[in-house]
Amino acid sequence: MTETEPLAPDFRFIFESTPGAMLLVLSTEFTIVAANDVWCTATASNRNEVVGRLLFDVFPDNPDDLDANGVSSVRASLSRVVREKVIDVMPLLKYDIELPGGEYEERFWTITNSPMFDSDGNVVSIMNRADDVTDFIRLKQADEVAAEIIESGREPLESIVLRQTREAAESSREIKVANAELTRLYAEAATTAQKLLRVNHDLEQFAYVVSHDLQAPVRNIAGIAELLRERFKDADLSDEDNHFFDLLDQSTARMLAQIQGLLKMSRLQTSTLTSVQIDLSDATTDSIESLSELITESGATVRTVGHLPTIEADPVQLSLLLQNLIGNGIKYRRMDTPSVVEVSATLDSDNSMVEIVVSDNGIGIDEDNQERIFRMFQRLHAPKDTTYQGTGIGLALAEKIVAIHGGSIWVQSEGKGKGSAFHVRLPVTQDFS
C-alpha cells in the first residue's frame, strides 16, 4: 500500500500555519482560544503562554503613552461584535506592543473582528484579524516630510498647514465612507451566514421528522409482503413471482436502513455530547461483539494490532464510528476471500493526536472515488447490484462524527481488489462545552 497525503484537512494545522494575516480566536469574554504562527511571530509571543489568558492582559496599553487607547478601542469593537452579532472593521489604530524586555514598540494596525456562530445563531467565539501596517505608515510619514521640505522654499507655512488640513479632512471623509461600506457588506455577509445556519437547522429537523414518520409505513409494507409470502408459500409460484417477492423484501429492507441512517445523522446535530476517557481497545472489542452476527455469517476475522491508547471522546459516537468502519471492511469483501479487518492506532510524538487505522483485504477503492465515498447517499455499486448491501450513509455519518470531534478522516487504497485502509485522526482530549 502506498502512502499518500490525507484527503481531509487538519483544520487546526491550517489555522495555525495560515500565512500573511495575524489571526486570533477569542472567547466571548475576550480570552485567547487560539493563535496562528504569524500572530505569535509578529507579537513575539509563545502560543502556550498566551492561550487561555485575557487578550488585554497579554496586550495592555503602553503606560508611557498618555493618549493610548488600544485597549478601550478593541474592547469596544469586540463588545459590539458580541452584542450586535455583526462584523466590525476598525479604523486605523495605534496600539503599541510590549517586547520581551519590557519595552514598548510603536505599532499601527488595521483590525477586523468577526463573530463565529453555533447552529442556533449564538455567538460562541470571535475571529480577530490584525494586519500590521506600521512600515507603511512610517514610509508615508517619511515621504510627506520629504515633500514638505522640498516645497517649503516655495510655499508659505500657512498655505502648507491649510492644504494639509484640507487633505487630512478629505482623507478622513473617504476613510469613513469606505469603512461604512465595508461594515455594511460585512453585516450583510453575517446576516446571510445566520440565515444559512437557520436553513441548515430547519433541513436537519425536516430530515429527522420525515425519517421518523416514514418508518411506520415502510414497516407496514414489509409486514404485508411477509404475510403475502406466507399466504402463497404453498402456491405454485413462478420464478418471476418469487423474484418479485425478493425485490420487495430487498427494497423495503434497504429503505428502512436508509431511514435509520438519516435518523442517526439527524441525531448527531441535536444530541448532547459527553467527553469521557475511553480505552480504544475496549471500545473496539465492544464494536466487534456488536457485529458478531455479521462476522459469523461472513466468516470474517477482525482483530486489533498493537497497543490501542486511551482517548477522550463521546462513547456513543465513537462506538458508531468504529462499527461503521469495521462493518464496511466486512461487507465489502472479495467473494473468493474471507474478510480480514485490522484495527490499529498510534499517537503523535507529543501525544496530542491519535491516528486510528481500520484496514481490510476487501474490494478496494479506485483513486477517483476515494473522496466521493464520504458524501451522502454515494455508493460505488448500482442500486440493483445486491452483492454489496449498503445505504450510502455510513461513511458520511463517520465523517460527521469525526468532524464533531475536531478530527479528519480519509481512505487509502491501491485500487480494486487491493483492500482499503481508513485513517481517522482525532485529538486525544475533547471539550464539548
pLDDT digits (tens, 9 = 90+) for 180-210: 677 777 777 777 767 666 656 655 555 555 5
Q: Which three cell numbers stand for residue 251?
A: 427494497
Q: What gap in Å lies between CA 265 and CA 261, rounded to an integer?
A: 6
Q: Is the pLDDT of residue 49 over 60?
A: yes
Q: Give the mean pLDDT of 402-408.
A: 87
pTM for the structure as a whole: 0.45
Q: What gap in Å lies between CA 35 and CA 17, rounded to an integer?
A: 10
Q: Give the mean pLDDT of 111-140.
A: 84
User: What pLDDT is stored for residue 121 in this prediction?
Assistant: 84
Q: What gap in Å lies between CA 368 and CA 415, rounded to an integer?
A: 10
User: What pLDDT is stored for residue 2 in this prediction?
Assistant: 45
SS percent in the chain: helix, strand, coil, step 5 = 50, 20, 35
What is the Cα 149 distance to its own chain's centre?
56
User: What pLDDT is stored for residue 143 in this prediction?
Assistant: 55
pLDDT digits (tens, 9 = 90+) for 51-83: 889 988 888 999 888 888 889 999 999 999 999
User: What pLDDT is stored for residue 166 in this prediction?
Assistant: 64
For the beta carbon of residue 90, count every other beta carbon within 10 angstroms.
Answer: 18
Q: Does 257 or 225 have the greater pLDDT score?
A: 225
pLDDT digits (tens, 9 = 90+) for 297-355: 889 999 999 999 999 998 888 888 898 899 888 888 887 888 999 999 999 988 899 99
User: What pLDDT is stored for residue 268 in this prediction?
Assistant: 60
User: What pLDDT is stored for residue 216 in this prediction?
Assistant: 63
What is the Cα 398 distance to its own chain's centre?
13
Pairing mode, strands 104-105 and 108-117: unpaired
Percent of the chain with pLDDT over 90: 16
Q: Helices marked H in 271-409 — which ranges?
A: 280-290, 292-298, 315-331, 394-404
Pairing mode, strands 276-279 and 310-313: antiparallel
Confidence of residue 6 (pLDDT cuts 50, 70, 90): very low
Secondary structure class of 279 (helix, strand, coil) = strand
Q: How many helices (H) and strands (E) does the chain have?
A: 12, 15
Q: Does 362 or 375 have the greater pLDDT score?
A: 362
The domains found in the chain, sorted by start residue, are 11-153 (3.30.450.20), 155-270 (1.10.287.130), 272-433 (3.30.565.10)
Q: Is the pLDDT of residue 93 over 90?
A: no
Q: What gap in Å lies between CA 90 and CA 110, rounded to an integer?
A: 7
Q: Which three cell numbers stand for residue 407?
A: 478530527
Task: State which of 166-170, 279-283, 327-331 shows the largest mean pLDDT.
Answer: 279-283
Q: Does 215 or 278 have the greater pLDDT score?
A: 278
